[in-house]
Amino acid sequence: MLNDAIKVHWLDEIKWNDDGLVPVITQETVTGKVLTLAWMNRESLAMTAELRRAVYWSRSRQKLWRKGEQSGHEQRVLDIRLDCDNDAVLLEVEQVGGIACHTGRHSCFFQRLDADGWVSVEPVIKDASQIYKK
Protein backbone atom coordinates (compact mmCIF):
# COMPACT_ATOMS: atom_id res chain seq x y z
CA MET A 1 0.00 0.00 0.00
CA LEU A 2 2.78 2.44 0.82
CA ASN A 3 4.32 1.84 -2.61
CA ASP A 4 1.01 2.79 -4.31
CA ALA A 5 0.85 6.02 -2.28
CA ILE A 6 4.36 6.97 -3.41
CA LYS A 7 3.47 6.29 -7.06
CA VAL A 8 0.40 8.53 -6.85
CA HIS A 9 2.35 11.25 -5.06
CA TRP A 10 4.93 11.79 -7.81
CA LEU A 11 2.18 12.10 -10.42
CA ASP A 12 0.35 14.65 -8.26
CA GLU A 13 3.40 16.92 -8.30
CA ILE A 14 3.08 17.47 -12.06
CA LYS A 15 1.23 20.55 -13.29
CA TRP A 16 -1.08 18.99 -15.87
CA ASN A 17 -2.68 21.32 -18.42
CA ASP A 18 -6.45 21.79 -18.69
CA ASP A 19 -6.65 18.67 -20.87
CA GLY A 20 -4.82 16.58 -18.25
CA LEU A 21 -1.61 16.49 -20.33
CA VAL A 22 2.03 17.45 -19.91
CA PRO A 23 4.50 18.10 -22.75
CA VAL A 24 7.34 15.58 -23.00
CA ILE A 25 10.67 16.25 -24.67
CA THR A 26 12.41 13.04 -25.72
CA GLN A 27 16.19 13.15 -25.98
CA GLU A 28 18.56 10.44 -27.14
CA THR A 29 21.03 9.77 -24.32
CA VAL A 30 23.98 8.76 -26.51
CA THR A 31 23.90 11.75 -28.88
CA GLY A 32 22.06 14.34 -26.78
CA LYS A 33 19.82 14.96 -29.80
CA VAL A 34 16.19 15.98 -29.21
CA LEU A 35 14.08 13.37 -30.99
CA THR A 36 10.55 14.57 -30.45
CA LEU A 37 8.04 16.59 -28.45
CA ALA A 38 4.94 14.66 -27.48
CA TRP A 39 2.30 14.61 -24.75
CA MET A 40 1.49 12.32 -21.84
CA ASN A 41 -1.45 11.94 -19.51
CA ARG A 42 -1.22 10.38 -16.03
CA GLU A 43 -1.76 6.86 -17.34
CA SER A 44 0.86 7.09 -20.09
CA LEU A 45 3.48 8.60 -17.76
CA ALA A 46 2.81 5.96 -15.10
CA MET A 47 3.11 3.22 -17.74
CA THR A 48 6.32 4.76 -19.09
CA ALA A 49 7.86 4.78 -15.61
CA GLU A 50 6.77 1.19 -14.94
CA LEU A 51 7.66 -0.35 -18.32
CA ARG A 52 10.73 1.82 -19.02
CA ARG A 53 9.36 2.16 -22.57
CA ALA A 54 7.87 5.41 -23.92
CA VAL A 55 4.08 5.50 -23.93
CA TYR A 56 2.56 8.79 -25.06
CA TRP A 57 -0.96 10.19 -25.38
CA SER A 58 -2.00 10.75 -28.99
CA ARG A 59 -4.02 13.95 -29.11
CA SER A 60 -5.15 13.26 -32.69
CA ARG A 61 -6.32 9.71 -31.96
CA GLN A 62 -7.32 10.34 -28.34
CA LYS A 63 -5.67 7.16 -27.10
CA LEU A 64 -2.44 5.78 -25.69
CA TRP A 65 0.41 5.60 -28.18
CA ARG A 66 3.00 2.99 -27.35
CA LYS A 67 6.03 4.25 -29.26
CA GLY A 68 7.17 1.55 -31.65
CA GLU A 69 4.08 -0.66 -31.43
CA GLN A 70 3.65 -0.52 -35.21
CA SER A 71 7.09 0.54 -36.42
CA GLY A 72 9.25 -1.42 -34.00
CA HIS A 73 11.13 1.82 -33.25
CA GLU A 74 10.50 1.84 -29.53
CA GLN A 75 12.16 4.14 -27.06
CA ARG A 76 13.81 2.49 -24.07
CA VAL A 77 13.59 4.95 -21.20
CA LEU A 78 16.81 5.41 -19.23
CA ASP A 79 15.84 8.48 -17.18
CA ILE A 80 12.75 10.61 -16.51
CA ARG A 81 13.14 14.23 -15.41
CA LEU A 82 10.70 16.97 -14.41
CA ASP A 83 11.52 20.64 -15.05
CA CYS A 84 11.74 23.33 -12.35
CA ASP A 85 8.14 24.49 -12.92
CA ASN A 86 6.82 20.90 -12.79
CA ASP A 87 5.08 21.43 -16.15
CA ALA A 88 7.37 19.63 -18.62
CA VAL A 89 8.94 16.18 -18.66
CA LEU A 90 12.20 15.08 -20.23
CA LEU A 91 12.74 11.46 -21.25
CA GLU A 92 16.27 10.30 -21.90
CA VAL A 93 16.02 7.28 -24.16
CA GLU A 94 17.76 4.71 -26.27
CA GLN A 95 16.11 4.97 -29.70
CA VAL A 96 15.73 1.45 -31.08
CA GLY A 97 16.39 1.24 -34.82
CA GLY A 98 17.65 4.83 -35.03
CA ILE A 99 14.28 6.19 -36.23
CA ALA A 100 12.08 8.32 -33.98
CA CYS A 101 9.96 10.15 -36.55
CA HIS A 102 6.96 8.73 -38.42
CA THR A 103 8.53 10.22 -41.58
CA GLY A 104 11.36 7.69 -41.29
CA ARG A 105 13.93 10.17 -39.98
CA HIS A 106 16.12 9.97 -36.89
CA SER A 107 14.46 13.01 -35.28
CA CYS A 108 11.15 14.80 -35.70
CA PHE A 109 13.10 18.07 -35.78
CA PHE A 110 14.43 17.68 -39.32
CA GLN A 111 13.34 21.04 -40.73
CA ARG A 112 15.54 24.13 -40.42
CA LEU A 113 14.51 27.70 -41.15
CA ASP A 114 16.61 29.42 -43.82
CA ALA A 115 16.07 32.60 -45.87
CA ASP A 116 13.45 30.92 -48.09
CA GLY A 117 11.50 29.03 -45.42
CA TRP A 118 11.66 25.55 -43.92
CA VAL A 119 14.19 23.15 -45.41
CA SER A 120 14.52 19.43 -44.65
CA VAL A 121 18.08 18.92 -43.44
CA GLU A 122 18.02 15.30 -42.30
CA PRO A 123 17.68 12.32 -44.62
CA VAL A 124 14.92 9.76 -44.58
CA ILE A 125 16.46 6.59 -43.17
CA LYS A 126 13.56 4.38 -44.16
CA ASP A 127 10.50 5.24 -46.25
CA ALA A 128 7.40 5.56 -44.07
CA SER A 129 5.44 3.25 -46.41
CA GLN A 130 7.92 0.47 -45.56
CA ILE A 131 7.62 1.16 -41.84
CA TYR A 132 3.82 1.37 -41.61
CA LYS A 133 2.58 -1.39 -43.90
CA LYS A 134 -1.15 -1.91 -43.67
The tens digit of pLDDT for each residue in 59-83 reads: 999 999 999 888 889 999 999 999 9
The pLDDT assigned to 5 comes to: 53
Q: How many separate domains does the chain show?
A: 1
Which range marks the domain in which residue 16 is found?
2-98
Query: Could you tell me how far CA 74 lies from the centroid of its own chain?
Result: 10
CATH of the domain at 88: 3.10.20.810
The pLDDT assigned to 65 comes to: 92
Confidence label for 128 from pLDDT (cuts 50, 70 and 90): confident
Instruction: Establish if 76 belongs to a structural domain.
Output: yes
Average pLDDT over residues 105-122: 95
Average pLDDT over residues 119-131: 89
Instruction: Establish if 86 belongs to a structural domain.
Output: yes
CA-to-CA dists, residue 129 to 32, 75, 89, angstroms? 28, 21, 31
Instruction: Establish if 70 belongs to a structural domain.
Output: yes
Instruction: Establish if 121 belongs to a structural domain.
Output: no
The pLDDT assigned to 86 comes to: 97
Instruction: Establish if 49 belongs to a structural domain.
Output: yes
- Asked if 103 and 76 touch (Cβ cutoff 8 Å), the reply is no
The pLDDT assigned to 1 comes to: 47
